[in-house]
């Protein structure tokens, strides 16, 4: 970095100010404006840099972007539409049914109902004693191809 005092501005910093904020002194940072003005009064090179920046500012302010032709706009929009993926049937169905606004509460209610029904139903048929019954053993023997009483 260059050595700068509050009252003195280096030429390289002045050039950075011109590049960043333009040639108009009102656009320069207030903390460096006085030092930049002082440099302008003392340095011919600083005045040359400001003149070049003013010319660049003028050219930029006069530049206008070209208008896009109607044909170009149509092609651009057609290309954009062609790149969009086709909506899935599930997505269309979700939008028709209200989307997540209705689906999420319905899924939450189904989950709560499933937990409640699972807790209320008797647990018959799941104990070891029931599985070891004669009927279950005979079915197992039949599945394994062993001879049993059938």
pLDDT tens, residue by residue, 39-80 = 999 999 999 999 999 999 999 899 888 888 889 989 988 888
What mean pLDDT value characterizes the chain? 81
Task: Determine the structural domain holding residue 44 and report its residue range.
Answer: 11-62
Residue 26 in domain: yes
Asked if 42 and 34 touch (Cβ cutoff 8 Å), the reply is no
Residue 70 in domain: no
Residue 25 in domain: yes
Residue 58 in domain: yes
CA angle 133, 135, 137 (to 5 degrees): 70
Residue 84 in domain: no
The per-residue pLDDT for 64 is 87
- Tally of domains in the chain: 1
């Amino acid at each position: 970095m260059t050595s700068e005092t509050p009252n003195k501005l280096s030429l390289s910093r002045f050039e950075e100010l011109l590049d960043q904020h333009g040639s108009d002194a009102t656009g320069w940072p207030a903390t460096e404006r006085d030092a930049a003005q002082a440099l302008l009064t003392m340095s011919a090179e600083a005045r040359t840099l400001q003149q070049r920046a003013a010319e660049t500012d003028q050219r930029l302010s006069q530049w206008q972007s070209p208008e896009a032709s109607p044909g170009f706009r149509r092609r651009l929009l057609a290309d954009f539409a062609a790149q969009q993926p086709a909506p899935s049937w599930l997505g269309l169905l979700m939008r028709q049914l209200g989307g997540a606004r209705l689906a999420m509460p319905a899924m939450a209610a189904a989950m709560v109902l499933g937990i409640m029904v699972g807790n209320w139903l008797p647990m018959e048929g799941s104990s070891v004693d029931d599985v070891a019954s004669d009927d279950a053993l005979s079915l197992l023997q039949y599945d394994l191809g062993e001879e049993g009483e059938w």
